[in-house]
Structure 1
């Protein structure tokens, strides 16, 4: 269920800090699969990302195309089923800051944001169960 929530960009505003969603371009096979470009708007901040990996119930990954002062941003979300029926979420992002020396500032902000995002699907999935 968590993988389905991650892949459904239109649902992110319901369970994450993101404000709105638009699908800029579909994956080659259609929809929000590998290759799709998604746009999220929060306040005045617009970020564009391309989905680069998707293994149902195991792995979801995207790269940032624009929207943050970062280079080479990639997030990999690994999902591990738990014996109790839940899902363990490991969200790892790597990037380089466009401004030398500013990486720690972005890391701190992203850690806070990703923490909020990770708690979102967990709460949403629990409420739906």
Structure 2
């Protein structure tokens, strides 16, 4: 199993950070990401989004949403196949107007999805992608 955690503190209020992160269009700020959009809903629990990147297509469902504190998502289907145990983005507001963000995701790739060799690749690529999205969020929101 791959267990990923990426953290960053962003100098912006939690409600702005949450709104930025829940917007699937901002997932395209990751390297290799091409498109991302809602296919149903707009960020509340039950919403579904799709994302396409070089080498990956995924449909995810928002399974819990508590703005501006956290949301949880689950990859429903993907190519290559991923057995996703869930992802969570947690936001903690600081007294100084900053927001600490913690992004976690746990998954495996079954044999039909590349198995351990694919996990070795994605366990290096996905943290970089998560970090790039958080860096873009900081770039867009800090100093407004």
In which range does the TM-score fall when normalised by the shorter chain? Answer: 0.7 to 0.9
| Alignment partner, residue 121 of structure 1 | 137
Match of 2:72 in 1: 61
Aligned residues of 1:5 and 1:12 also touching (Cα < 8 A): no
Does 2:49 align with 1:38?
A: yes
Q: CA deviation at 1:64?
A: 1.0
> Cα 1:80–1:16, aligned 2, differ >3 Å: closer, same or farther?
same
Where has structure 1 moved over 4 Å in runs of 4 or more? none
The residue number in structure 2 matching 1:107 is 123
The 3-state SS of whatever aligns with 1:124 is helix
CA distance in 2, matches of 1:22, 1:59: 19
Q: Deviation digits for residues 17-73 of structure 1, max 9, x if unmatched?
A: 4322332222xxxx3211111112234642211111211121111111222432024
Check conservation: 2:30, 2:133, Cα contact below 8 A.
yes
Structure 1 stretch 78-87 or stretch 67-76: which is displaced more? Answer: 67-76
More displaced stretch, 86-95 vs 116-125: 116-125
Q: Quickly say closer, same or farther: Cα 1:21–1:105, change in 2 above 3 A.
A: closer
Contact conserved, 2:30 with 2:130, CA < 8 A, in 1?
no
Q: Quick check: 2:26–2:133 contact (8 Å CA) kept in 1?
A: no
Give the Cα separation in 2 of the matches to 1:16 and 1:35. 24
Query: If the length of structure 1 is used for normalisation, what is the TM-score?
Result: 0.80
User: Does residue 106 of structure 2 align to residue 94 of structure 1?
Assistant: yes
- Unaligned runs of 5+ residues in structure 2 are 1-15
